[in-house]
Amino acid sequence: MSAPTVAIAATGVANVASVKACLERLGAEPLLTLDPVVLENARAVVLPGVGAFAAGVEALNRAGVADLLVARAREGRALLSICLGMQLLATSSEEAPGLKGLGVLHAPVERLRGAPRLPHFGWNAVEVEDNPSALLRRGEAYFAHTYAMTPSETLEANGWRVARATEGSTFVAAVERGGTLACQFHPELSGAWGAALVQRWLQRAFDEDPSSRAIGAGGLSWS
């Protein structure tokens, strides 16, 4: 196919329906796939995730898509990793000691310390330095998790822009670099604020594509 595509990495029963509905409301026509060729060639890829770290790592390795997702993130191509999807990009997780993550984000994932109740379900403030040209902006986002990435200077040193949130302790709410955006929160469930973030991510993905038809007074088109 010649049209630019948005692909959702279908690793199992994740929050695929909500992500898909969000993308569709923004005018995209996402494909659900685990085909490495489709994921490699897609203009933009979403890595959703709900569930366990070990099962997530195993699903990516079994499908043979771990390396291409790592390459995509390293090159700053369009990748949106959500919740467990973000944690899978880390070096490791306290949830599965001894198991390596994809290692794109050089910071560990740990159980949330000091949270009044776990899992952490709910809306929290996302704090990030103001920058109107960036994807991530201040706001309130919806979280559903027990583990989270611990802030690390290595992230910034590696060129990641880091947003933080606090629930008992401060953790990494999201990071962005180029077209790659990884969110501990669920942008697809974060109302109008989350939809606007996904819209900016799509816009950046397709702006970089010279064949994109993503401009027009009547709105945006990604399909």
Which residues are tagged catalytic? 83, 186, 188
Give the x-and-dash track for 124-153 against another protein (CB under 8 A): xx-------------xx-x-xxx-------
Give the x-and-dash track for 159-198 against another protein (CB under 8 A): ---------------------------x-xxxxxxxxx--
Residue 94 is a binding residue for another protein (CB under 8 A): no
Closest CA to 115 of 82, 151, 145, 88: 145
**What's the rounded Cα separation, in Å, for the pair 153 and 102?**
19
Site residues for another protein, window 101-120 (CB under 8 A)?
A: 116-119
> What are phi and psi for residue 85, nearest 5 degrees?
-55, -40
Residue 31 is a binding residue for another protein (CB under 8 A): no
Q: Is residue 151 within 8 Å of residue 174, measured between CB atoms?
A: no
Which residues sit at the interface with another protein, rule CB under 8 A? 13, 15-18, 21-22, 24-29, 50-52, 116-119, 121-125, 139-140, 142, 144-146, 186, 188-196, 199, 216, 218-223
